[in-house]
């Protein structure tokens, strides 16, 4: 069984990113187990905490270590990805030499209620993941524009072209994970 962590960049309840992530999880094959990784509970990373490590950091790091792969689903905040997501990446990569993200194949899905579709968030996140030594699916790139128009009241995607696209993305990612 391949364990895939789903990290949602938005910490808002029932966010567009969370709804989109739920739609993505449904597309994985049976031999892939997907689980949401909580990031809202992580205190801001401070190097002083390396001497007296908070238990929540240890639990988070152990959870990420146990994963085979990671999917990031994020909104765009001010042309980048949210602070909560950056904090989670920092907590998992510190102290220096203890990077729990190292080598885990990643998929980035960005979304926005606008036409820009989280382009800035997607590319800024790629930069950070490159430093963390996470191979990232390059194609297809996943930018979901006008996300609120794609989701029904139940949080399910209503547009068949988007459903088909996400299935292609997941199929590509599954093959990518198997290669890594």
Domain count within the chain? 1
Cβ-based neighbours of 51, under 8 Å, separated by 6 or more: none
pTM above 0.85, yes or no: yes
In tens, the pLDDT along 28-42 reads 999 999 999 999 999
Name the pLDDT band for 129 (thresholds 50, 70, 90): very high
pLDDT at 53 over 90: yes
pLDDT at 50: 80
Name the pLDDT band for 146 (thresholds 50, 70, 90): very high
- As a whole number, the mean pLDDT across the chain is 96
Q: Which domain holds residue 158?
A: 2-179
pLDDT at 49: 81
Q: What CATH code is carried by the domain that includes residue 45?
A: 3.40.50.360
Distances (CA, A) of 18 to 34, 65, 129: 13, 22, 21
Q: How far apart are CA 87 and CA 89, in angstroms?
A: 5
- The rounded percent of the chain whose pLDDT value lies above 90 is 93
pLDDT at 117: 84
In tens, the pLDDT along 80-120 reads 999 999 999 999 999 999 999 999 999 999 999 988 889 99
């Amino acid at each position: 069984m391949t364990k895939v962590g789903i990290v949602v960049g938005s910490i808002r309840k029932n966010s567009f990113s969370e709804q989109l992530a739920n739609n993505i999880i449904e597309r994985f094959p049976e031999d892939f187990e997907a689980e949401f990784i909580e990031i809202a509970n992580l205190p801001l990373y401070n190097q002083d905490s390396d001497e007296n490590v908070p238990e929540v950091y240890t639990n988070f790091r152990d959870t990420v270590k146990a994963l085979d792969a990671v999917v990031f689903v994020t909104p765009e905040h001010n042309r980048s990805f949210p602070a909560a997501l950056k904090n989670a990446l920092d907590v998992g990569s510190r102290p220096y030499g203890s990077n729990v993200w190292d080598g885990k194949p990643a998929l980035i899905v960005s979304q926005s209620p606008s036409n820009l579709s989280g382009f800035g968030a997607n590319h800024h996140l790629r930069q950070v993941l490159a430093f963390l030594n996470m191979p990232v699916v390059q194609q297809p790139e996943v930018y979901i524009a006008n996300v609120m128009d794609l989701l029904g009241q139940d949080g399910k995607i209503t547009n068949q072209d988007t459903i088909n696209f996400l299935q292609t993305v997941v199929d590509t990612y599954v093959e990518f994970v198997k290669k890594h």
